[in-house]
Each structure stands twice: as structure tokens, then as C-alpha cells.
Structure 1
Amino acid sequence: MMSSPGFLMTVLAFIAVIGPLVFVHEMGHYLVARWCGVRAEVFSIGFGPEIAAWVDRRGTRWRIAALPLGGYVKFAGDMGVASQTDPAWLALPAAERAQSFPAKSVWQRMAIVAAGPFINLAFAVLILGGLAMTYGAPVSEPVIGRVAAGSAAEKAGLKPGDRIISIMGRQIDDFRDISSIVSLRPDELLPYEIERNGSRFGQDIAAGARIEKDRFGNIYRIGLLGVGSSTVKLQPVGILEAPVVGFKQAVDVTRTGLDGMGQIITGRRPVTEMGGPLKIADISGQAAMMGGASFLFFMALISINLGFINLLPIPMLDGGHLFFYAIEAAQRRPVSPQVMEWAYRSGMALLLSLMLLVTINDLGSFGLWKSLSRLIG
């Protein structure tokens, strides 16, 4: 049985995950901004009081702050860390004004803002590709390992050891390919090609249906064949193939995250499954105890989530800025300061509410509320 990582290990592991990912994210903004000729005034890892700081020859103040829950790059012409435009930028001398963020074209500003999330996604692909090249890529062959009693597969006569060659004429290379086809087609008769004891034959099979109902009363019918995989093998991955494998794995993680978010929104999964910084810290410690590969894989997952969340069209996040820049590009004038102010206040309220919610969930997952209820009772 694996021992608990302990408080110190958990804190250090959390910093080791979040610190590099925040640095990579902000470095994306910083490098594209430099390429566009924008001067960065502050590059901060973390918020709050400074632990260490220095100023480079370009006048950028690099700082490490006490709260490692994020970071920011403050560009010339920004009013604060949220990249709201400072009206005073118009009064700057011409040379300085040319190096400010608001002076750049809307496409340059969009590129600078988008660079952070996208470099997080690229960083995850790099990690996943490196792990695949080092340890191999997990491949679950489409060979049936078990058949659930009373399932559609049992009724169709499928047996352990059968290999699914194709469904609807689509080649099946991995066991997960079966679910991606069947889950969308409950009770639908589909043509299968199956290999059994070296011989191939065709058979039409209709998957069963699992019924789910969301909080709005919508009914979902999900196809269920009722088979399980046999074994998972590690397939060697070459250096040229590694980025492709890493990209595919990142897409799978993103798709799973989107599906989970959709299920939480519709009520098919409880809101309590949403986790925050405390939960990330807890899992960071556990991943560190499991070894370097597990820790790097977890870092890749968090990097994908960080990139994806920042692309959501919520004011205060990169996606919110991109949304307003897209409106500016379409109408050929900036969004009014009043609308921007309202949007940023709303975005801040939403983010604080979400932070409160996930913190409550995190504390609940640690058993705090149950312990308090026992003390009160």
C-alpha cells in the first residue's frame, strides 16, 4: 500500500506542477508580445508579496510572488494585471506609445493573448509525446476479454477472444474505437466484421441502451455493447511519431474533459466532482509518490486544462479578451469602456464564485464537512 505523501511533499509537488505551467503560459504571452514589439513591464509568477525580483536590460521586472496560483505579464499601456487598457497610454511619448499593447493591431493583440493557452496545449503534447517515446503508447487491442451477462454482446453470441475487425465498414484499431461508434447508436443494427479462431465472418448486431436523464428532463440513450477489453499493451513510438501520439492523447483528454463538463452542466454528474487548487495539490502529491512518469502525465493533464479553461469566453480570462477582440475586428472599433467594465466585473464575480464552489468541494472531499457535522451533532 502506497504511503501518504505528507503535507510538505504535497505542497512541493503542487508548486512543481503549477509553477512551470504558469511560467510556460505567461512566457507564451511574453515571447509573442516581444515579437510584435510590445514592451513588458512586469512578468510575475504568482500573486501577492514578492519573494524575489530583478529587472532586466529591457526594463521588465521579473518577480516571484508568495501565492503560486497563477501569474501575469503586464504590458505597457495596461492598467492592471487583467490587461485592461490604461487611458493614459495615449499621453505617452510617441516611441513609448508605439511599444504599448493598445497600439498594436487587433490581430497582433489576439496573437499575444492566444499564445498563452496554446503554448500550454503544445507543452502538454510535448510531455505526452516524450512519455510515449520513452515508455511506449498504451494500445488496447480490439479483442474481447469479457462479455457482460444479459448484454447485447451475449445475445449476439460474442465470446472472449473475438477480435472486432470493423463496424459499419470502419476499421477498429483500438478497443476505444468500439465505444466511440456504438455509444452514439443505441438499438441500431450495425454490420460487424469479427475474427474468431483465425476465421472472419460478418454479423449484424444491435447494441443495447443505457438511459440517462439530465436536470432539465432531457432523456439520453447511450449505446452499450457489454464487452470489456482483454489486455493493454505498450507500443514502441519513434521520435517522428511521438508528436502525433502526444497530440492524439491531448485531443482524447480534451474530449473527455468537455464531455465531463457537459454532464456536470446538464446534471448527469454532480457538481461536487469539480475540483480546485486543494484537490490539484492533493493529487500532485499522490502523483509524485507514484514516480516521474505519473507526475509528468498529471502535469500534462493540468496543462491541457489550464489551456482549455483560459480559452473559455469569460471576461478576465484570455478567452474573454479574444472574444472582445473578435467583436472589435468585426465592427472595426473597440468595445465601449462601459461594456468592458461591466463585463470584467461580471467575469470577476463569476470566477470568484467558481473558486468558492470548488474550494467547498475540495474541503468536502477531504471530509471536513462530515467531521464538522459529527462535532455539531
Structure 2
Amino acid sequence: MTLLTTILAFLCSLGPLIIFHELGHYTVARLCGVKVLRFSLGFGKVIWSRRFGADQTEWVISMLPLGGYVRMLDDRDPDTRASTDAERAREYTRKNVWQRIAIVAAGPIANFLLAIAVFGGLYMVGMDEVGTRVRSMDAATPAYQAGLRGGDRVVAVNGEPVATYAELRWETLKAVLDKGGLRLDVVQPGGARYNATLPPAALAGKNVEGDLLGELGMPMYLTPVSIGKIPDPAGPAGRAGMLPGDRVVSIDGKPVPDGSVLMKLVGQSCGRTLAFVVERAGRSLTLMVTPELNKATNVSRINAQVMSTPEMVKVTLGLVDAAVAGARTTWQQSVMSLKMIGKMLTGQVSLTNLTGVVTIADYAGKTARTGPVEFLTFIAVVSVSLGVMNLLPIPVLDGGLLLYYSLEVLTGRPLPDRIVELAQRAGVVLLVMLMALALFNDVMRLTQAAPTPPANTYVRCPND
């Protein structure tokens, strides 16, 4: 069932993005007077086709749903060459260079417009997102040394307001990639405000691919710990008399403000009996709990669901503000994608970050199972990535054609056919290599990923 959900989610996310992209090409081509012969969703063997409109454009679904194309009248291809004077007037290469640029650029632009619409729509409906309050951090972290403490809420980064943890991470990531510092506007639990500064040196060398904020000392705030389901009454929690709804106050005299602290203390016990102080119906009780250690996985557990969730905030905007926020988010995603590509090209970020259709399908399935907001957000992010990717100056991609036409604008004449042909061949080779690398990374990511135990339930013990 999970595999079926993943496949359906993948098709339902990638399919509309491809259709929007190709509709961009199709619409502008028609506006520029170019005759469109075929609109295809997918590549390879045609499995369904119908003809519509005055031009009898063929609309088809092809075997491989990993892309699409719009085929126009084009004298460079014997199969699509114009045969009459009327058709020659509607042939693609006879259009001026600015019309050809508009037709090519319309595909990526359609993806960006779709992302803006989806992000904007989500902001209008209202999105529940993790807030910017941070929990207790290690004293050795840059954030602690800058003055932050558990419970503080970051409201701005380098002058940019932040209302969600995602925005906080985004602004921090930009600072790291720009090799700058952080100037944080912070509000304490009592309402007092102060500023904290993390210099560029504190951000240098931080892992942009992992838990960047946690590494800097700004882990997301978690609510106080309460016990959820206890699946096995004969397990450690059940034997100790723990009940669903108990709120954990301390363990062995150490305060437990959130689930991360509980996991750490349980992990450090590795089989030693712990004194849990819990609150139940207004009473304080002490329960002696002996965690179990699974020697095969080296994981300690109390066999109880630990409820400690991030603090959520609801972000809801009006029509105009939502549109602006959608455009801003799309722009930020685009810039960050380009920066990451640049970092990979210069070796500052590992090429293992390059992902392909397998990872996209995996995330499509995961977000679809999480909820509609997460799935729509995923679609918007992929739409931005598709737009950015197609604008890369690689022959055979839209960006490669835009590069040709830009040179034509500068020189006043089109590139020689021989140069274009050689560039196209090189582009195909490069694209195949990138796809192979992305597929390799996808496979390695799936085969090397260790099984993840249920959240907040298991804690890995140190080896003896």
C-alpha cells in the first residue's frame, strides 16, 4: 500500500508540473503564431492520443512520464518541415529572436508562476508551522555563547522578520552560504527583547545539509513531556506503573523540559534503573523505571510513546500579502537552488546532494501521507526546482536554447548549425551523466539509510 501511495503521489505531483511547463511553451507559441503539431506528456511510445482545435494539434500521453515536449513546425526537422507558404509563415525558426526567447522561457516561467500560486494559496488558507522558539542548548554552541537561552524566541535575522522555524533556518542558511554572520532579534519568555550576534567565524564550516540550527545551538522548542500510549503493559514503563497522560517532570532529580532531554537521559542509563517524577491528576509520583537495552541494535527503550511536540504557529495572510509571500518564497527557493548548484560545482557542497526521480518519488509519498499542506508545499518546491533546472545553460534544456538566442541577440546572427549540433551532443552526454549520478545517489541513499526507530521512543546507547 505504501509503494502504491508513493507511485500515485509521484505521478500526481510530477504530472501536473510537466503539463504546466509544456503549457507555457504551447500557449506562448500559439500567441506568437507558431503552429503546434504535438503536445506530449511523457516520452517514448505513444499510448493515447487525440487531435483538437483548428490546427488539429495532437495531444498525447507517452510511455515514460518523466518529462514532456511541444513539437512545432520547424524546418530544421524533416518530419516537421513546413510544406506551404501559409505554414512557412507559422514556422518556428522564421519567428524573430525575441519571440523564440519568449516561447522557450515560457516553460520555466510557468513553473515559477505555479509555485507562486501554490505558496500564496497555502498562506491564504493558513499554514501550521513550527515557531521560532528555541529549546535549551549546549553551553558550547555559538548561540549559547551569543546569549540565547532555552525558551527564547527569534523574531528577526539580519533585519529580516521570521515567524516560523523554516524561515529562521532559511535566513541562517543564506548567511552561511554568503559567509556572513547572524544578527538575531530575540524575545525572552517574559517579553524582554535583546540582540544576539553570531560572527562569521561561528558559522564557518557548518553542515548546511543537516541540522544546521541544532548545530549552531538553536534547536526547535518542544512542549513539556507527557506519556502517550503504552503498547506493552509488561514493558519497562508498564511495569513501573506509568499511565497515559502522565507528565514527566524529572529523571533522577534532573529536570525534563522536553522529549529530547528524556531521550538523552534514558540513553545514558543503558539498563540502569531511573527515578521518574511524574504529575498525575495534580499529584506528584515517583516511578522506578528500568529501560530495556536491545543488544542487537544497541538501543535503549522504555516502551512508551513520549509526547513532546514542536510549538506550532498558524500563518494566515490576505490575498495581496499571500501573493507577495508566495513570490518571495519562490524567489528565495530559486536563489538557494542556484547557490547550492554553484557550491556543488566548486566542491563546497557534496555531489551526493544531487537527487533524482527516486528521491522525488520517495518524498512525494512521504508528504502525501503526512497531509495535503505538506504535499502541496512539496509540489511547489519541486516546481521551483524544475524551473531552475530548465534554465541552466545546458544544451538540450531550455537554458541552452536561451543561451543560443542570447548570443544571436549580441552578434546579430544565429549560431552555425554545426556548432549547435556539437553542443547538443555534448549536452545530451552531460545530462545523461547527471541523471546517472542522481540515480546512483538515490540508490545509495535508500540502501545505506539505517532504519529509524519510532520518534521519541527509542534512544541509542553508547557502546561499552
Do both proteins adopt the same fold according to a TM-score greater than 0.5, normalized to the shorter chain?
yes
SS of the residue corresponding to residue 48 of structure 1 reads strand
Among candidates 91, 115, 133, match of residue 124 of structure 1:
115
Alpha-carbon distance between aligned partners in 2 of 1:236 and 1:22, rounded to the nearest angstrom: 29
Structure 2 CA distance for partners of 1:303 and 1:163, relative to 1, 3 Å: closer
Q: Is 2:325 the counterpart of 1:245?
A: yes
Among candidates 290, 295, 313, match of residue 370 of structure 2:
290
Deviations 1:244-274 (A, max 9, x none): 1212222232233233323333334332232
Which residue matches 1:321? 401
Q: Is 2:190 the counterpart of 1:110?
A: no
Verify the 8 A CA contact 1:21 1:120 in the aligned structure 2: yes
Deviations 1:333-363 (A, max 9, x none): 1000111011001001111111111122222
Which residue matches 2:355? 275
Computing the radius of gyration over CA atoms, which structure comes out larger, 1 or 2? 2
Among candidates 23, 26, 32, match of residue 28 of structure 2:
32
Verify the 8 A CA contact 2:43 2:64 in the aligned structure 1: yes
RMSD, aligned CA: 3.4
Alpha-carbon distance between aligned partners in 2 of 1:132 and 1:206, rounded to the nearest angstrom: 33
Q: How many residues align?
A: 349
Which residue matches 1:260? 340
Q: In terms of mean alpha carbon deviation, does 252-261 or 323-332 score higher?
A: 252-261
Alpha-carbon distance between aligned partners in 1 of 2:340 and 2:177, rounded to the nearest angstrom: 16
Alpha-carbon distance between aligned partners in 2 of 1:306 and 1:171, rounded to the nearest angstrom: 27
Greater share of helix residues, 1 or 2? 1
TM-score normalised according to structure 2 size: 0.66
SS of the residue corresponding to residue 43 of structure 2 reads strand
Which residue matches 1:310? 390
TM-score normalised according to structure 1 size: 0.80
Alignment of structure 1 residues 129-144 onto 2, 5 Å: 129-136=120-127, 138=129, 140-141=131-132, 143-144=133-134
Which residue matches 2:439? 359
- Letter of the structure 1 residue corresponding to residue 345 of structure 2: I
Alignment of structure 1 residues 71-220 onto 2, 5 Å: 71-77=68-74, 79=76, 89=81, 92-136=83-127, 138=129, 140-141=131-132, 143-162=133-152, 170=159, 172-174=161-163, 175-176=168-169, 179=172, 183=176, 195-196=187-188, 197-200=190-193, 206=199, 208-212=201-205
Verify the 8 A CA contact 1:187 1:209 in the aligned structure 2: no
- Letter of the structure 1 residue corresponding to residue 41 of structure 2: I
Alpha-carbon distance between aligned partners in 1 of 2:7 and 2:157, rounded to the nearest angstrom: 48
Verify the 8 A CA contact 1:328 1:335 in the aligned structure 2: yes
- Letter of the structure 2 residue corresponding to residue 113 of structure 1: V
- Taking every aligned residue pair, what percent have the same amino acid on both sides? 36
Among candidates 44, 54, 61, match of residue 64 of structure 1:
61
Alpha-carbon distance between aligned partners in 1 of 2:171 and 2:449, rounded to the nearest angstrom: 41
Alpha-carbon distance between aligned partners in 1 of 2:317 and 2:429, rounded to the nearest angstrom: 46
Cα displacement (A) at 1:164: 5.5
Verify the 8 A CA contact 1:146 1:229 in the aligned structure 2: no
SS of the residue corresponding to residue 209 of structure 1 reads helix
Mind listing any 5+ residue stretches in structure 1 that lack a counterpart? 81-85, 215-223, 371-377
Deviations 1:75-133 (A, max 9, x none): 111545xxxxx6995x7432111101111110000000000001001101111111222
Mind listing any 5+ residue stretches in structure 2 that lack a counterpart? 208-214, 222-310, 451-464
Q: In terms of mean alpha carbon deviation, does 249-258 or 308-317 score higher?
A: 249-258
Deviations 1:134-155 (A, max 9, x none): 23374744x5543431234433
Alpha-carbon distance between aligned partners in 2 of 1:69 and 1:268, rounded to the nearest angstrom: 30
